[in-house]
Amino acid sequence: MSWFDLAGRDLISELDWTREEYDIAMKVTDQLKGAYYSRIPHPTLEYKTFAMLFFAGSTRTRMSFETAMTQLGGHAQFIDPQTTRLSLEDKPGAGETVKDTAEAMERYCDGVGIRLLDDKIRYYGEADEVMQKFAKHCRVPIINMASDINHPCQSLTDIYTMHEKLDGDVKRKKIVIMWAWSPWIRGWCSVQGTALISSLYGMNVVVANPPEYDLDPRVMQDCRDLASASGGSFEVSHDLDSALDGATVVFPRNWFTKDRYEIGKEKAAEIAKKYVSWKYSTERQKKLGDPGYLLQCMPVDRGNEADAEVCDNKLSWILDQAENRLHTQKAILTLTMGGRL
C-alpha cells in the first residue's frame, strides 16, 4: 500500500478505504495542516478542477471543499443540479441521464463530489445508488459529500479530530453516539459514518437511541465486524444515561426512524416528540465524571440536541472539528486526484 494507490480511487462509503489508507490520509492531513499554519504554499492540484454537485444544502462541506481547492492551486466548480440538464429518473423523456452527465463531466474535471440526501431522495438507499452509477460511468474519482447512508469526508475528519485531541490514543476509548431530539428530522449518514470509522479504529462504540430509532442493520453489522477485527467493541443501547457512563467522547445528533420515507417527515416529527428529554445537557455532561467531550459534525440544534453551554464550553471540539474538514479534504483531494506534495 502506498500513497500512489489512492490516485483515481472513489470514496463513497467509509468501507471503500482500508485502515492503512485512512492512516495515509491522516498523515497527509498532518502535512497539509502543518504547511497551512506555516504559510508554506502547497499547490498539489494546480490547474485541476473538482466539480461539486450539491443536490442538498451545505455550509461546511461546500465552503471547505471550495477553500481546499483554492489552497491546492486548483478550482472547485459549484453546480446546482437544478440548473443542469440532469434527471435522476433515468427514463426516456425525463431529462439527461446520469450516464451521459457523468461521461461528459469527466471530460472537464479531475474529480466529482456529490451531496444527495434528505428530501432530495425518495427512498433510503437511492442516493448511494446514484453515486454508484456516477462511479460506474465516470473515470475520475467520485467523492461522497454526504449521502443517505454515508458521509466519509466527515468520518475521516471525526477520527482525525479525535486522534488530534486525544494524542493519538483512541483505541478502547468510549464514544457514545446518542440520538437527540430535534424538529430537524435528520438523516443517518453522519452517525453511521462516525460509528463505522470509530469501529475501524478500535474504539468502544455505543449507539444510544430510543427503540424506534435503530440504524441501518447492515451498517451496524459492519460496525460489529470492524470492531471485532480492530479490538474495539460495538453495542446499541436504549438507555441513554447508562450508555453515557464512562464516555470519553459524546456525539449527540437527531436522526429519523427507518420508515421515514414511507410515513413522511411530519409523521416522523410526531414520533420524535415522545423523546424530547433525549439531549446532551449540561447536567448530563457534569454527571458523567469522564470528560464527555462534544464531537458534533454541525449544524447542531442548540438547546435541543445539546445545551448551548455544552456547545461552547472547554469540552466542546465542534469548531476545531469543522476546521479539520478543510485539512482532511485537502488530503482526500490530493490523494485521489493524483497530487504530489
Contact set with ligand CP (CB under 6 A): 58-61, 146, 154, 297-299
Calpha distance 70→298 (Å, rounded): 23
* Choice between 299 and 338, CB closer to ligand CP: 299
- Contact by Cβ (8 Å): 288, 245: yes
> Which residue, 69 or 227, is less far from ligand CP as judged by CB?
69
Residue number with CB closer to ligand CP (8 or 299): 299
Least distance between ligand CP and beta carbon 282 (Å): 23
Residue 44 corresponds to which cell in the numbers above?
498539489
The angle subtended at Cα 160 by Cα 252 and Cα 134, nearest 5°, is 85
Task: Specify the residue for cell string 450508555.
Answer: 243
For ligand CP, give the closer residue by CB, 12 or 146: 146
Cβ neighbourhood burial of 168 (10 Å; 0-12, 13-18, 19+)? exposed
In the complex, minimum distance from the CB of residue 99 to ligand CP, in angstroms, rounded to a whole number: 27
In this structure, the number of other CB atoms found within 10 A of the CB of residue 27 comes to: 12
Nearer to ligand CP by C-beta: 56 or 203? 56
In the complex, the smallest distance separating the C-beta of residue 58 from ligand CP, rounded to whole angstroms, is 3
195: phi then psi, degrees, rounded to nearest 5:
-65, -40
Q: What are the backbone dihedrals phi and psi of residue 170, each rounded to the nearest 5 degrees, phi first? A: -100, -20
Q: Least distance in Å: CB of 154 to ligand CP?
A: 5
Do residues 95 and 89 make contact, with C-beta atoms less than 8 angstroms apart? yes
Q: Taking the complex as a whole, how short is the minimal distance between the CB of residue 251 and ligand CP, in angstroms?
A: 12
In the bound state with ligand CP, the residue whose beta carbon lies nearer, of 25 and 297, is 297
- 72: cell is 491546492
Q: Which is nearer to ligand CP, 269 or 298 (CB)?
A: 298
Q: Minimal distance in Å, beta carbon 210 to ligand CP? A: 23
How far apart are CB 61 and ligand CP at their closest, in Å? 3
